[in-house]
Amino acid sequence: MSMFDKLAEVEARYAALETQLADPEVLAKQQTFQKLAKERADIADIVDNYRSYKQTVKALEENAPLLRESDAEMRAMAREEETRLSAERTTLEERLKVLLLPKDPNDEKNIVLEIRGGTGGEEAALFARDLFRMYCRYAERKRWTLEILSLSESSSGGIKEVVAMISAPPGGRVYSELKYESGVHRVQRVPETEAQGRIHTSAATVAVLPEAEDVDVKIEEKDLRIEVMRSGGPGGQSVNTTDSAVQIMHIPSGIIVRCQQEKSQHKNRSMAMRILRSKLLDIEREKQETAEREARRAQVKSGDRSEKIRTYNFPQDRLTDHRIGLTKHNLPKLLDGDVQDMIDALRAHYQAEALKGSQ
């Protein structure tokens, strides 16, 4: 089936949905109405662009006779219009190709963000803190909500490990924006504790997990080992005197999750389960992607966490993403959350790779 056959089918489906949504019987069934409304919203962008494409093609056809006019000025105007409309048609064609790519079912999900200090000791923990602040500021710019689920700080004020939930209203597409951030982030700079001014290289790992709903992952109670304990802060300092911290081990996978941010044991358990579900969903997603890559070599990677994806070089005031060879300057601004250009470039790159694989 050609691209335009698919587009015609999508447009016909959109028209059918509009008819159904206007039906009083459908309006009376709220659950059915919401399901159909969501389906219509999911394809609305495709239909809008396809209709714009058809209007542009029609305008080109209507402009063609003017190119043969005897009046030289009229022909010149027609050539200018043809150039403009041809460029518009090409742009719409490329946009439609991207819109027709298979959707990542996780794109509209909220995320669980994990950042851990890696190689480099205290400097790695300080870098992890800087990365976490970068994502916090980015979330603020997007008007998303960030909730810390688990936090372990170092003695210097850095972060050994932080787990946070980033959520948005429906349509926020948090995972779609941040899914390419997973991987090893490397920093090159002079640590605050370095007396001789030598540049050190440290690293932190970032994991972006789509939040799993109850329906996404089934967890059996018999597969869990749950322990409660007193919360502790940096250096073993007591945070509270009740057994509110919760540690959950998923026996089949060996995954251990610990939450201590809340004073309520019930809330900590709920948070820990949210993290666990997301981790298990991510394992299933990794398995599926591995199988797809083996079956189809052109499959686009989603970002292997074991590879170094980005370097933050302070002496040269630059950030380089090694996957797409893109370099940006002004690190203070970037670490303040101004990374939309980088995120957009990554999305465009992987969309282009997906288009190659689909041809």
- Average pLDDT of the residues in 146-174: 89
Three-state DSSP state, 151: strand
Residue 105 lies in a domain: no
What is the spatial distance between Cα 209 and Cα 14, in angstroms, rounded to a whole number?
A: 32
- Looking at the 3D structure of the chain, how many domains does it have? 2
More confident residue, 237 or 268: 268
Same domain, 63 and 166: no
Same domain, 89 and 17: yes
Same domain, 202 and 261: yes
How far CA 180 is from CA of 4, 79, 209, 309, in Å, comes to 30, 43, 11, 9
Residue the block writes with tokens 């999900």 = 109
Single-letter amino acid code for the residue at 24: P
- Average pLDDT of the residues in 230-250: 64
What is the percentage of the chain residues whose pLDDT exceeds 70?
A: 88
- The confidence score (pLDDT) of residue 236 equals 43
Averaging pLDDT over each range in 6-10, 226-230, 246-250, 350-354, which range is the top one? 6-10
Averaging pLDDT over each range in 46-55, 99-108, 224-233, which range is the top one? 46-55
- The confidence score (pLDDT) of residue 193 equals 66
- Average pLDDT of the residues in 135-148: 95
> Is the pLDDT at 298 greater than 90, yes or no?
no
Confidence of residue 296 (pLDDT cuts 50, 70, 90): very low
* CA-based torsion, 26, 30, 36, 40: positive or negative: positive
Same domain, 125 and 93: no
- The confidence score (pLDDT) of residue 117 equals 92
Average pLDDT of the residues of the chain: 85
> Is the pLDDT at 299 greater than 60, yes or no?
no
Residue 68 lies in a domain: yes
How far CA 13 is from CA of 48, 114, 160, in Å, comes to 13, 40, 51
DSSP character string of 68-123: G-S-HHHHHHHHHHHHHHHHHHHHHHHHHHHHTSPPPTTTTS-EEEEEEE-TTHHH
Same domain, 53 and 165: no
More confident residue, 233 or 57: 57
> Is the pLDDT at 62 greater than 90, yes or no?
yes
Same domain, 125 and 19: no
Averaging pLDDT over each range in 65-79, 103-117, 264-278, which range is the top one? 65-79
Residue 123 lies in a domain: yes
Orientation angle between helical segments 72-99 and 3-21, nearest 10 degrees: 80
Residue 151 lies in a domain: yes
CATH number at residue 129: 3.30.70.1660
Same domain, 214 and 327: yes
Tell me the chain's radius of gyration from C-alpha atoms. Answer: 26
What is the spatial distance between Cα 41 and Cα 26, in angstroms, rounded to a whole number?
A: 17
CB 259 within 8 A of CB 149: yes
Q: What are phi and psi of 234, to 5 degrees?
A: -55, 135
Same domain, 24 and 159: no
Q: Which residues pair with 192 in a beta bridge?
A: none
Cα 189 to its chain centre, rounded Å, is 28
Same domain, 74 and 116: no
Same domain, 185 and 260: yes
Residue 117 lies in a domain: yes
More confident residue, 174 or 191: 174
DSSP strands (E only) in the chain: 111-117, 145-153, 159-167, 183-189, 200-210, 224-229, 245-250, 255-259, 308-313, 318-321, 326-329
* Per-residue pLDDT tens digits for 33-49: 988 998 898 899 999 99
Residue the block writes with tokens 């005197």 = 241
Query: Which of 99, 126, 160 lies at the terminal end of a domain, its last residue?
Result: 99
Confidence of residue 202 (pLDDT cuts 50, 70, 90): very high
What is the spatial distance between Cα 196 and Cα 20, in angstroms, rounded to a whole number?
A: 72
Same domain, 284 and 184: yes
* Per-residue pLDDT tens digits for 11-38: 999 999 999 999 999 999 988 998 899 8
pTM across the whole model: 0.69
What is the spatial distance between Cα 227 and Cα 243, in angstroms, rounded to a whole number?
A: 10
Residue 132 lies in a domain: yes
- Average pLDDT of the residues in 304-309: 64
Query: Which of 56, 74, 99 lies at the terminal end of a domain, its last residue?
Result: 99
- Average pLDDT of the residues in 160-187: 91
- Average pLDDT of the residues in 122-145: 95
Q: From 199, 129, 202, select the one nearest 160 (Cα to Cα).
A: 129
More confident residue, 271 or 73: 73
More confident residue, 355 or 295: 355
> Is the pLDDT at 226 greater than 90, yes or no?
no
- The confidence score (pLDDT) of residue 289 equals 66
What is the spatial distance between Cα 329 and Cα 309, in angstroms, rounded to a whole number?
A: 17
Q: From 302, 295, 263, 248, select the one nearest 105 (Cα to Cα).
A: 302
* Per-residue pLDDT tens digits for 323-351: 999 999 999 999 999 999 999 999 989 88
Residue 193 lies in a domain: yes
Boundaries of domain holding 308: 111-293+304-358
Confidence of residue 295 (pLDDT cuts 50, 70, 90): very low
Residue 104 lies in a domain: no
CB 322 within 8 A of CB 200: no
List the single range of 135-144, 268-277, 298-307 with lowest mean pLDDT: 298-307
Q: From 314, 318, 339, 313, select the one nearest 329 (Cα to Cα).
A: 318
Query: Which of 99, 126, 147 lies at the terminal end of a domain, its last residue?
Result: 99
Same domain, 143 and 94: no
Alpha helices, H only, 143-249: 174-178
